[in-house]
Amino acid sequence: MSSKILIIGACGQIGTELTTKLREIHGVDNVIASDINTRNLDLVNSGPFEIIDAKNFNAIKDCCKNYNIDTVYLMAALLSATGEKYPMEAWDLNMNSLFHVLNLAKGGTIKKIFWPSSIAVFGPSTPRDNTPQHTTCEPTTVYGITKQVGERWCEYYHKKYDVDVRSIRYPGIISHKAMPGGGTTDYAVEIYHEAIKEGTYECFLSENTELPMMFMDDAIKATVELMQAPAEKINIRSAYNLAAISFTPKQIFESIKKHIPDFTITYKPDFRQAIADSWPSSIDDSVARKDWGWQHDFDLDKMTQEMIENLEKQVCRVDFNPR
Ligand code: SER
């Protein structure tokens, strides 16, 4: 029997593409998308959809019971930059939604959970280059604190109650479908949109700020493979380090310039610079590679090619749309 899946936060940057992928694998009717509102109409109209506030335990529980859900992907969260503006809201959403699904698994309503962690669990006292799986984690953002604490609770629920919860420390994710919202790594998406629309971009991080990043296709592949891996291969029940590429604003700018030679950039660091400065520049993900065979496909130039091709198609579609 095919798995019945609920995706919470399905209208977000990762949720949108994860929903499509999981529906390809499991069938449209076996993947229930949910979000707090219907902001992504393409997604809402593409299969079963429910409005769910991730902070509402009963709403999640009722949905799981109504659809016989066995697996939940909890993608709803407030990210790093928004979390600094609304610290209590970030704590409330990021922690309570996690407890809700962990407790549903503990109580036997669901069997399996995917919950994303982040490179934000690391802080200024973490080794910056090739950050190991097991290392000092003293995050300085509210978002990072919620992810670090969440990792501890995931491991606790696995050890104590045998909950099958799996997690990845996502780096910055670059994609051309749904926009990211409220993150520090968002510049690496915005830059492509502005390159195509305006030919110029004002970057909110300084030119040599190196951060770990990944193209969406790799992030989705990792998520699916981690969830498909046999339980005995999953030795980390907090969250796996995961890496693909690391680059600076200057390097992504140069990669885009190969396609758009007149593209220009200026740098105007804001409060997000301090967040970026507290995070690693590159990640050692050898444990994920060893445990469940993780391999990435996209380097910077391959990603740039894919981003530009797809965004140009979107611009053409909009231009040819009669109003
Ligand atoms: N992309 C996230 C952020 O910038 C990091 O997980 O907040």
What CATH number does the domain containing 43 carry? Answer: 3.40.50.720
Whether residue 201 lies inside any domain: the answer is yes
- pLDDT in the model for residue 317: 63
Residues 127 and 200 in one domain: no
**Are 167 and 178 members of one domain?**
no
Evaluate whether residue 290 is within a structural domain: no
Cα separation values, 165 from 25, 47, 251, 254, Å: 20, 26, 36, 40
Local confidence pLDDT in tens for the 323 residues of the chain: 679 999 999 999 999 999 999 999 999 999 999 999 998 999 999 999 999 999 999 999 999 999 999 999 999 999 999 999 999 999 999 999 999 999 999 999 999 999 999 999 999 999 999 999 999 999 999 999 999 999 999 999 999 999 999 999 999 999 999 999 899 999 999 999 999 999 999 999 999 999 999 999 999 999 999 999 999 999 999 999 999 999 999 999 999 999 999 999 999 999 999 999 999 999 999 999 999 999 999 999 999 999 999 999 987 765 554 43
Shared-domain flag, residues 153 and 15: yes
Range of the domain at 39: 5-171+216-241
**Residue of the nearest CA to atom 1 in ligand 1?**
172
**Judgement on whether residues 207 and 181 belong to the same structural domain of the protein:** yes
Cα 116 to Cα 147: distance, rounded to the nearest angstrom? 8
SS3 state of residue 22:
helix
Asked whether residue 261 is assigned to any structural domain, the reply reads yes
Report yes or no on 288 lying in a domain: no
Q: Are residues 115 and 186 in the same domain?
A: no
Task: Say yes or no: 124 and 183 in one domain.
Answer: no
Q: Active-site residues: which are they?
A: 143
Find the 205 Cα to ligand 1 centroid distance in Å.
Answer: 14
Q: Are residues 13 and 137 in the same domain?
A: yes
Per the domain annotation, does 167 fall within a domain?
A: yes
- As for how many domains the chain has, the answer is 2
Residues 125 and 262 in one domain: no
Q: Are residues 135 and 118 in the same domain?
A: yes
Centre of ligand 1 to C-alpha 308, Å, is: 22
In DSSP terms, 240 is beta-bridged to 168
Separation of alpha carbons 101 and 237, rounded Å? 15
Ligand 1 atom nearest the C-alpha of 186 is 4
**Is residue 292 a part of any domain in this protein?**
no
**Domain harbouring 308, CATH code:** 3.90.25.10
Is position 80 within any domain?
A: yes
Quickly list DSSP for 54-108: TT-HHHHHHHHHHHT--EEEE-----HHHHHHSHHHHHHHHHHHHHHHHHHHHTT
- Which atom of ligand 1 approaches the CA of 147 most closely? 6
116 plus 199 within the same structural domain:
no
The H-assigned helical ranges of 181-320 are 187-197, 216-228, 249-257, 272-277, 286-292, 300-319
| 279 Cβ inside 6 Å of ligand 1 | no
Q: Which residue has the tokens 């990944």?
A: 214
Is the distance from the beta carbon of residue 183 to the nearest atom of ligand 1 less than 6 Å? yes
Same domain, 233 and 309: no
